[in-house]
Amino acid sequence: MYLTRAILVLFVVTLAEGQTDRSMPNLQAGRKIFESQCALCHGANGGGGRGPSLHRPKLERAPDDAALRKLIAEGIPPEMPEAWQLSPPDIANLAAFVRSLGAVPPEAVPGDPAKGVIVYREKNCASCHIVNGVGTGFGPELSTIGAHRNATHLREALIKPAAFVPDDFVLAEVVTASGEPIRGIRANEDSFTIQIKDAAGRFYSFRKDEVRSWRLLRDQSAMPAFDQSLSPGELMDLVAYLASLRGSQ
């Protein structure tokens, strides 16, 4: 009789522990997975790099936990790989860890954003970028860039733009049948055609079999490098300004 009760108690306790495991995700386990599989792109502590900073209470692509787990499992083609190797409990732990990153305040960036706006104007960045509706959209929109990229990435984007070019902004060069070279951002491409947008905003569409040659310049950027034309102080202020562009978040 006592034995039966003891076994029953043991059974109930084990069941209860199993339950806790399932309802209380393990942040430490989530952190381990993050460090080995996500930090490469999102930074060692989630502060961002090639992928956006995750130090945000609200993630655009993952408004709730179910959406976050689905995003982690399926990835975001072509920039973020799917996590087919992770089990559902792994993903739940990882999602909980990512959520916990949202409570981290944005990093303190040295430099003066108010002076950075002036540098932005003087260097005519708006001839290629839009901030809050102002400017030209040859390059990526920067209205919420501070929420997506950390200061290290922003600094590098200014002094060495070719180091990371988002897939939507790959530089392409076509030499037409008459020998005229046309350079610009690849706006679209399929097996037979390629469309290019040049810095003056002109669109070109070519049939690949009608041009002399075409190629993607993956190691170059359509953005000029500002390593020579910004003083260290200007660079710091400009990065502080870009980091402050966080939209409503």
Residues of this chain that interact with ligand HEC (CB under 6 A) are 37-38, 40-42, 50-52, 54, 59-62, 68, 71-72, 76, 79-81, 83, 94, 98, 120, 123, 125, 127-129, 138-140, 145, 149, 154, 157-158, 161, 165-166, 169, 185, 199, 221-224, 226, 238, 242
Closer Cβ to ligand HEC, 77 or 179, answer by number: 77
Q: Least distance from C-beta 189 to ligand HEC, angstroms? A: 16
Residue 32 or 123: the one with the smaller Cβ distance to ligand HEC is: 123
Q: Which residues pair with 186 in a beta bridge?
A: 196
CB nearer to ligand HEC: give 20 or 85: 85
Residue 143 burial class via C-beta count within 10 angstroms: exposed 0-12, middle 13-18, buried 19 and up: middle
CB of 179 to ligand HEC, least distance (A): 25
Identify which of residues 170 and 175 has a Cβ nearer to ligand HEC in the complex. Answer: 170
Distance between CA atoms of residues 143 and 242, nearest Å: 9
Q: How far is the CB of 184 from ligand HEC (least distance, A)?
A: 9
Cis, peptide link before residue 161, omega less than 30° from 0: no
Query: Which residues are CB-contacts of 132 (< 8 A; sequence separation ≥ 6)?
Result: 143
The DSSP 8-state label assigned to residue 59 in this structure reads B
Q: Are 246 and 146 in contact (CB under 8 A)?
A: yes
